[in-house]
Amino acid sequence: MNQLRWDPTLEEWVAYATHRQDRTFLPPAEYCPLCPTKPGGFPTEVPRESYEIAVFENRFPSFAPDAPEPEEKGSALTPTASGRGVCEVVLYSDEHDATLAGMSEGRIRNLVEVWADRYEELGSLDFVQYVFIFENKGEAIGVTLHHPHGQIYAYPFIPPRPARELRAAREYSSGDRCLHCDLLSQEHEDGRRIVAKGEHFSAFVPFYAHFPYEAHVYARRCIPSIADLNGEERVDLAHLLKRLLVGYDNLFGFSLPYMMVMHQAPTDGEDYRGVAHFHIEFYPPNRTADKLKYLASSETGAGAFIADALPEQTAATLREALESAAP
């Protein structure tokens, strides 16, 4: 069911999870499998009448802990491997219509705790090399269930994009400097693309943003993972996420779709201090209220992004949306 095939032209694994075709697709709200199980109602994924935050293993996983060696052996040129890994679903709330943006900072703070816990626990599994924490939000991103949730993929390899970022950071850091620390100081000094500043985190539209309203949330301290955040930093991360998300929803006056991804240290046993620098990246697909940025031929076939707004402009607009939304 779960297998990996090697693409030698791009030097990357492609994961096959054929049973995913049968997964639940946009069910009516009364049949939401992520809502609590109502007394006398149909059993959902959570056999309780209410919950705060819940985590469970995805029933339609892209990777599974017990994935067998694939029957398809491939060749020396195109080998296969078992799709061994873990896929978890993180439910942010038992309220079907809630969103992360609408949640209290206290709840988001608890979520940070859950993310850190899952990073450590999944990362400690011997077959897991990278714990990828993410959220796909909105139908524009292809979300199949509206209930507020994120996901975690514990991959048996370091996925290509983080691997590329880590390679760049390692090459840069040969002179004892962290690439991300230097990027962050550059953004602070310039200031035009800063969207929000907390005590321990900063949010900005990067100089080289791929999506118009892309925002990166960087820990100011150079730490490899979310698990390395201290108590104050966790509180501040919740605070900054709340501000950014409320601003995002205020940008066009509707709940903004986005992809949220966390970049941090792989869990393959190597030392990533000074190379991996914990940060969260948001990619909203909207160029305007009603136009989306599609990944078309140049982006998909050439890997070259074409953007039609400068980050200085979009950062100013987004900053305004944050400021006018502030209580």
Residues that bind Zn ion (CB under 5 A): 32, 34-35, 96, 147, 178, 180-181, 222, 263, 277
The DSSP letter of residue 276 is -
Q: Which is nearer to Zn ion, 3 or 130 (CB)?
A: 130
Dist. CA 12–CA 172, nearest whole Å: 23
The SS3 of residue 82 is strand
Q: At what angle do helices 231-252 and 105-123 cross, to 10 degrees?
A: 120
Catalytic-labelled residue, pool 19, 96, 146, 149: 149
DSSP E strand stretches across 24-85: 54-57, 80-82
Token readout for 242 is 């709340």
Longest CA–CA span in the chain (Å) reads 64
Token readout for 300 is 């998909």
The SS3 of residue 274 is coil
Residue 109: CB partners within 8 Å, gap ≥ 6?
A: 234, 235, 238
Nearest to 88 by CA among 129, 51, 130, 132: 132
Nearest to 133 by CA among 148, 151, 117: 151
Burial 117-128 (b: 16+ CB within 10 A, else e): ebbebbbebeeb
Which neighbouring-strand residues pair with 6? 13
Token readout for 29 is 């709200």
Give the other-Cβ count within 10 Å of 206's Cβ.
Answer: 17
Dist. CA 4–CA 166, nearest whole Å: 22
279 is catalytic: no
The SS3 of residue 314 is helix
Dist. CA 151–CA 260, nearest whole Å: 10
Q: Which residues form the catalytic set?
A: 149
